[in-house]
Amino acid sequence: MPDWFSRRIVDDKTTMLTEPFVHEYLRANIWHLRGRDADLLVDTGMGICPLAPEIERSDGKPLLVVATHIHLDHVGSLHEFPLRAGPRMSAEQFESMDEAVTYAYMFHDLDGAVSKLPAPGWKAADYKIPSAPLTRTLDEGDIVDLGDRQFRVLHLPGHSPDSIALFDEVDGLFFSGDAIYDDTLIDDLPDSDRTAYISTMQRLLDLPIRIGHGGHGPSFDGKRMRAIATTYLGRTAGI
């Protein structure tokens, strides 16, 4: 379905894709960043329609795809790409994409799962995520190198135990996944940990970002990120 994805040009190197017909809670941001020696794709959406044909590439550079965590709205199309990186702590689970881990089962009965059918006869109840074994595992302190910029991997648990983010320490560019984003933060899933999330928010207060691109919602600057973190810390005070 050619119009399943929406596309927004962020700057001369960055494009954001999303799935406008997917339920708002699962409408994740997909980030494509062009680098000198390699391109980067952060998260892959639901996998309802093929994502790979939507990624504009014409120079033959490798495309490294990073899953920030293993939840369904971030790993659905991961299997479409040959270079697949993701959190070390959940690496084994990418081989099976067990519905209990990805939460794919929640989508099966979700009211208004999609606002437009991707194909005649399509049913949310039939939704499955194909296996996508990682070709590289990422943990705190690892470096993702695109040639002209390097991202340090940060392990930022709370929303999920395996949540990671990518931070360019030189430029201040931050791909935060679901560790933090400018929308309603989710901390009550079966694998969420509010105590860990509090520690993550405290850590983010001191992170010198220039611009953050999250897993959901609009992009944010450092001031806005600190406001989001501070609000969360205030809401969870006493835990």
Per-residue tens of pLDDT for the chain, all 239 residues: 459 999 999 999 999 999 999 999 999 999 999 999 999 999 999 999 999 999 988 788 999 999 999 999 999 999 999 999 999 999 999 999 999 999 999 999 999 999 999 999 999 999 999 999 999 999 999 999 999 999 999 999 999 999 999 999 999 999 999 999 999 999 999 999 999 999 999 999 999 999 999 999 999 999 999 999 999 999 997 76
**In a domain? residue 195:** yes
If one counts the domains in the chain, the total is 1
Distances (CA, A) of 237 to 182, 194, 195: 20, 11, 10
**In a domain? residue 163:** yes
Do 32 and 40 form a contact (C-beta atoms < 8 A)? yes
In this prediction, residue 57 carries a pLDDT of: 81
Instruction: Give dist(CA 39, CA 32) in Å, integer.
Output: 7
Dihedrals φ, ψ of 9, to 5°?
-80, 120
Structure tokens at 125: 């109840």
What's the domain range around 213? 6-235
**In a domain? residue 1:** no
In this prediction, residue 58 carries a pLDDT of: 73
**In a domain? residue 14:** yes
Query: In one letter, which amino acid is 24?
Result: E
CATH of the domain at 33: 3.60.15.10
Instruction: Give dist(CA 171, CA 150) in Å, integer.
Output: 9
**In a domain? residue 156:** yes
Query: In one letter, which amino acid is 130?
Result: P
Do 208 and 221 form a contact (C-beta atoms < 8 A)? no
